[in-house]
Chain A
Amino acid sequence: EVQLVESGGSLVQPGGSLRLSCAASGFTLSSYNMNWVRQAPGKGLEWVSYITSSATTVYYADSVKGRFTISRDNAKNSLYLQMNSLRAEDTAVYYCARDMGFGVIFDYWGQGALVTVSS
């Protein structure tokens, strides 16, 4: 069974940093491109970042470019999102999502990790 489990969400002050992790099981992580998608409270979905299976290519939404870094460790079956210079508008549930394999279609999602940026 494919499972994605996020961790690392918490309350952080504006300007602070946080690292989210996503543990993958039930499939070979090294064969799939991965993404982070977020959802602010009561709002819609916003794509955040993408990384290819071998980490050779990464993309970011303009709203997080220069502040967030996506990475992965296929040997540890894990995906990461390093978030720096956090702002109130980064407050959201962050989901890791698997790319289906022939295009950026999110076929499996984690349960989400809540990040709250507030003083």
Chain B
Amino acid sequence: EIVLTQSPATLSLSPGERATLSCRASQSVSTYLAWYQQKPGQAPRLVIYDASNRATGIPARFSGSGSGTDFTLTISSLEPEDFAVYYCQQRSNWPPLTFGGGTKVEIK
């Protein structure tokens, strides 16, 4: 089973700042990595797929990069609606499909 480790667990930032979230895989997942955003009481929402492709309707301030075992989700300038929990997910070697433990982006 591929284990995904996300860091940091919590990121405290102000609106307008840049957010950099990390996801590390226990073995290579090529570029088969997705990122999801989840707000309290809501279902997750797809943000990035295949490491760097923005999902439909996702603003350009969101970008993804990486390959192999190290991946980054960057939010170039945080908007108030971006404060949420972000999860990474791999589809390279499954079952099982696995998610990271999440990074909470909170308002400083």
Contact = CB atoms under 8 A, between A and B. Distances in A.
A106 interface: yes
Interface in A41-70: 44-47, 50, 59-62
Q: Please tell me the size bucket of the interface on B.
A: 20 to 34
A46 to B, nearest CB: 7
B contacts with A: majority SS: loop
Interface in B13-54: 32, 34, 36, 38, 42-46, 49-50
A111 B38 CA distance: 12
Given A103-B32, A103-B91, A105-B34, A61 B96 contact: yes
A37 B101 CA distance: 14
Contact of A45 (B44, B56, B94): B44
B102 interface: yes
Contacts of B91: 103-105
Nearest to A100: B49
B71 interface: no
Majority secondary structure, A binding face = strand
26 contacts: A44-B99, A44-B102, A45-B36, A45-B38, A45-B44, A45-B87, A45-B99, A45-B102, A59-B94, A61-B95, A61-B96, A95-B44, A103-B50, A104-B91, A104-B94, A105-B46, A106-B36, A106-B44, A106-B89, A107-B49, A107-B56, A109-B43, A109-B44, A109-B45, A111-B42, A111-B43
Lowest 7 A-B CB distances belong to which pairs? Answer: A109-B43, A47-B97, A59-B95, A104-B91, A45-B99, A105-B49, A44-B102
